[in-house]
Every structure is written in structure tokens, then in C-alpha cells.
Structure 1
Amino acid sequence: MASFTHRLRLLTSPLLLASLLLLTSVTGGKQPNEKESLLKGINNFRKSQNVSALTMNKKASCFAKEIAKQLEGESCSQVTDPNSIPGVPDILKKCKINISTTTDAIMLSVCVVNRVPNLVLNNFTQRFYGNYLKSSKYSGAGIGEQNDWTVVVLSTNTTAGSFLSFASTSVCCRLSYLIVFLGLFLKWLID
């Protein structure tokens, strides 16, 4: 029995350590940055509309960040049409996003001189963009900033709006197989 307990400790110790490291990196006592503050403000707006909060979508964030870089140097008076931004196929490739997982998503961009946080939030929650932020269709967000530009990409929980890549899907499946395998291995150890 002692050898079983020893083997189980050897097996679970690395998993426990990895979990603790992940938790401390996620819950570190850092101050929220502009993106986190903007997402919090958008989620407060959604809450006031009785719509569930958006979660941060890493791939949508990569896309938003790269789009914001493309807008750098553009005048705030310019209206941005996502279809007019050059290099979108390259951005999708750089962020490892399959284009078929972006069709239900939407990109919103605002330009506020010096990116004054309250003005940026007001620009997203008022008028035209506010209708998108009120929609329960969207469940995730990616935020990118560059100079005066702030880009918010809203994603859905559908395949057509998730911003996933084929690689992400296969990694998820591989992880599921690994968990099942570990469960069977632990059952074998116990029996």
C-alpha cells in the first residue's frame, strides 16, 4: 500500500505544482491595465442591460492588437471599415486564426486623442456600437490599442465567431484524450 501512495504522490505532485503556478500567474496582485479596465467598463454596461459579461478571447485580442497597429498614424477623423484595412489575411495568419471562425464576429474601432479611458468607453457604449455591446450574441472580446486607436473585437461562442484555429481544436481534443488516459491509468494503479 505504501508503494501505491508513493506512486500516486509522484504522479500528482507535478500536476499540483502546475496548477498552483497557473493560479498565481492568473491571480497576481497587479493593477488592471487599460484593456482590463475597458473590458470591465463594457461588462458593467452589459450588466446594466441585463446581458452576460464578455470574457477575454486571446485570439480576438491578437487580431485587435494587430488591427490597431495597422491604424497607427491614421487620422481620428477617418471612418474605419474593417474591409478597408490592409493586411488582414496576414494578421489572421500571424494570430493563427482560421478565417471561417471570424464570420459571426465584429470589429469596433474608436479613435480618441490620448486614449482618455472615459471617452473611449463612452465611444463604445453610446450610439451605434452600444447596440452590438447590448447583444447577447457576443460572449468574448479582444482589445487592442495603438496610439489614439482602440479596437474591440467581439467574438461569439459559435464555431463561426470563436476565433479558433484548427490547431486549437486539435489541441483541445488531444488534451481530452490525455485526461481520459490519465483517468484510466489512475484506475489501473488503484486496482
Structure 2
Amino acid sequence: MKVFNLKAMKVFNLKQWLLLFLCTHIIFPSLSMADDLSDELLVNINKFRQDMKLPVLTQNENAACLAKQIADQFKGQVCSNSTGEDTVPGTEPQFPNYPQFLENCHLNVSDTKDGVVMPDCVPGLDPQIAFQNYTHSQYIQNVNDTKFVSAGIASEDNWFVLVLATNTTGGNFQTYNRGTMHYINKLLSLLPILGALLLAA
């Protein structure tokens, strides 16, 4: 008959819960805050579209994945009259590693060519200011366009990136239906850290 050391099990379980707490509140807080800002911006844009008698935009995880890839490229870039919503059409930043962004999100050019990517520089990442920028600039023509039915938003440093998608095969960002793998891969990348913490405990 096996005898279990309940006291040792309680201590071990306490350590496990402590590690989970630390992971949730130290490793992931910035991701959670960024998600909150993105959600608030999408809510405001959808209220605006409703006021204009337009259908609301649903959340598109694959578009959000691409938005995150692009937002990361703007980290450290200062706002100017040639960036974000002030960019002169046709002079938007070009990313030579854009194909890699698509691959990271399990997307093809053919599935995204009808979508639009709209970066916006907002010091302090205030979603209310970003909302004003998206609805009072050249971006308004896309925000008001009924062909766009879903959106993905990401933020980094002082930048929001809004990606709009259609419900057509050329812009729905959903061909492979594997957008969630982006987040799963991120979580998997943290497993070595968790393993080291458990061993240390």
C-alpha cells in the first residue's frame, strides 16, 4: 500500500500555482493590455460603422496575426508627417520580409491581396486618438467600405496596425484556417522557460 506525503503534495501544488500566477501576471500582461487596447479600438470602429448603417467588423485572428507581424516592424520608429495615416498614398513603407510575415501566419499573398493594412502612430497608444485618426484621415474610405467584413488589430510601441479583410477568397485571410497556430506556437516557445522554473522549484 502506497503512502502519499500529503504535505509534500500541497507544497508542490502551491509551487505550481505560484508559477502559473507568475506566468499569467508577469510574462503575459503586456499581451493582455495590448489585446484590451485593440479590442477597445475595434469596438469604437464598429460603433462608428453602425452609426453609418454599415455592418460591424468581426474579429479575424489571421488578420490580427499579420497586424502583429507588421506592428513589430514599426517598433522604435517615430511619428512624422510621412508615417501612419499621414502617409502619402503610394509611399507606404515596404517590407522586404513581408512574405515571411505571411508564412508566419500561414497565409498566402493570394488570400490577402484584397485586404488593406493601415498603420497609425499614436504616442501612448490611446485607442480614442487612434479611432479619430482612422475615421478622420485617408483611412476613412476603407473603414467605410462595405467590402470589408472583418478586422485584425495589433499594437507595438507607439503604433497601431489595423488590417481589414473581405469575405472573398482574395482577401478573407482564412484559406488555411490556421491563424490560431500563431498563438499556439508562441505558447509552445515558453515551455522551456516553464520547464526550467519547475525544475528550479
TM (norm. structure 1) is 0.68
1:152-163 → structure 2 map (5 Å cutoff):
152-163=162-173
Distance 1:137 1:73, change over 3 A: same
Aligned to 1:168: 177
For structure 2, the 5+ residue unaligned runs are: 1-31, 85-90, 179-201
Shift of 1:127: 2.3
**Contact 1:68 1:145 (8 Å CA) reproduced:** yes
| Partner Cα distance (1:86, 1:69) in 2 | 14
Residue 135 (1) aligns with residue 139 (2): no
Per-residue CA deviations over 1:9-34 (Å, capped at 9, x if unaligned) read: xxxxxxxxxxxxxxxxxxxxx99811
**Secondary structure of 1:118's aligned partner:** helix
- Alignment identity in percent? 34
**Contact 1:42 1:121 (8 Å CA) reproduced:** yes
Distance 1:117 1:87, change over 3 A: same
Residue 76 (1) aligns with residue 79 (2): yes
In the alignment, which of 49, 54, 62 is matched to residue 51 of structure 1?
54
Shift of 1:73: 1.1
**Contact 1:76 1:111 (8 Å CA) reproduced:** yes
CA RMSD of aligned residues (A): 2.0
| Partner Cα distance (1:101, 1:137) in 2 | 15
| Partner Cα distance (1:168, 1:54) in 2 | 18
| Partner Cα distance (1:120, 1:168) in 2 | 29
Per-residue CA deviations over 1:128-156 (Å, capped at 9, x if unaligned) read: 11111111110000001001000000000
**Secondary structure of 2:65's aligned partner:** helix
**Contact 2:57 2:148 (8 Å CA) reproduced:** yes
| Partner Cα distance (1:148, 1:83) in 2 | 16
In the alignment, which of 88, 94, 106 is matched to residue 98 of structure 2?
88
1:31-50 → structure 2 map (5 Å cutoff):
33-50=36-53
Per-residue CA deviations over 1:42-78 (Å, capped at 9, x if unaligned) read: 0011111110000000100000011000111112114
**Contact 1:70 1:86 (8 Å CA) reproduced:** no
Q: Which runs of 4+ in 1 moved over 2 A?
A: 78-83
| Partner Cα distance (1:82, 1:158) in 2 | 24
Counting matched residue pairs gives 139
Aligned to 1:123: 133
| Partner Cα distance (1:95, 1:35) in 2 | 18
2:36 maps to a residue whose letter is N
Residue 106 (1) aligns with residue 110 (2): no
| Partner Cα distance (2:101, 2:138) in 1 | 26
TM (norm. structure 2) is 0.65
